[in-house]
Amino acid sequence: AQSVTQPDIHITVSEGASLELRCNYSYGATPYLFWYVQSPGQGLQLLLKYFSGDTLVQGIKGFEAEFKRSQSSFNLRKPSVHWSDAAEYFCAVGAYAAGNKLTFGGGTRVLVKP
Amino acid sequence: GAVVSQHPSWVICKSGTSVKIECRSLDFQATTMFWYRQFPKQSLMLMATSNEGSKATYEQGVEKDKFLINHASLTLSTLTVTSAHPEDSSFYICSAPSGGNSYNEQFFGPGTRLTVL
């Protein structure tokens, strides 16, 4: 079975500072990895995804993530945070063998200080 | 990108009544759709997989008689919360993969907030 852990429940960052959100997964084969963002009361927006190939993935809104197989990690980064980045971020793992089901991490809430 | 809609976006109902939530893929066909439940400040939990033309597959611990799922067509799945109670109040989100034989990105609906009084 696949599982995802996001160790940080909350992160507070100053506007303009860098941001890194941690994600660790457990899955027997190569997973498909995703980062989603959710604003309060809203649905999920895909930030980026990793299926194969280059382990450094670029996404929307200036986000990037790096897949590290040896560490079973897929951490999300942004060099300079904007106030509009305050939201809930979810890492998710999927697999075709699992019927395309997605398993989500617990989420990390990002607060941005002015 | 592909668009998934949900209706209604929010609903308030009395305890004991049933509520139907629709999930539609607007510009693609989806033989499979997924229903998630999200409690406040928590993550999404997969409830069931909706399969067009066959019975839904429920995750462990989800009451299939409580949460009725019907995948009536290649673009519509419905979730009916039967005899709703306050503990059923939650944010319900559906998603649909874009299709094909390999893993496909899932597209999420905007969610439906259910409040049971």
CA distances B20 to A16, A96, B9, B112, Å, are 44, 29, 12, 10
Q: What is the mean pLDDT of residues A4-12?
A: 95
Q: What is the mean pLDDT of residues A47-51?
A: 92
Which residues, 6+ apart, have CB-to-CB distance to A6 below 8 Å? A21, A22, A23, A24, A89, A90, A91, A105, A106, A107, A108
Average pLDDT score over chain A: 92
Give the rounded percent of residues in chain A with a pLDDT score beyond 70: 96
Residue B103 is predicted with a pLDDT of 61
- Count how many Cα atoms sit within 13 Å of the Cα of residue B15 in the half-sphere of its side chain: 4
Identify the residue among B10, B43, B60 best suited for mutation to test binding to A, counting A beta carbons within 10 A and taking the highest. Answer: B43
Residue B103 to residue A32, Cβ atoms within 8 A: yes
Residue B43 to residue A105, Cβ atoms within 8 A: yes
Contacts of A100 in chain B (CB under 8 A): 32, 97, 103-104, 106
Residue A43 to residue B111, Cβ atoms within 8 A: yes
| Cβ–Cβ under 8 Å, residues B107 and B27 | no
**Which sign, positive or negative, has the C-alpha torsion B62, B64, B66, B70?**
positive
Contacts of B97 in chain A (CB under 8 A): 100
Q: In whole angstroms, what is the distance from residue A46 CA to residue B15 CA?
A: 35
B102 → closest Cβ in A34, A96, A103: A96
Which residues, 6+ apart, have CB-to-CB distance to A53 below 8 Å? none
B105 → closest Cβ in A46, A103, A109: A46
List average pLDDT for each run of 10 residues in chain B, which is 117 residues long: 90 97 93 92 91 92 95 94 96 84 76 96
Residue A90: how many other CB atoms lie within 10 Å: 25
Q: Nearest chain A Cα to B5, which residue?
A: A43
Residue B113 to residue A103, Cβ atoms within 8 A: no
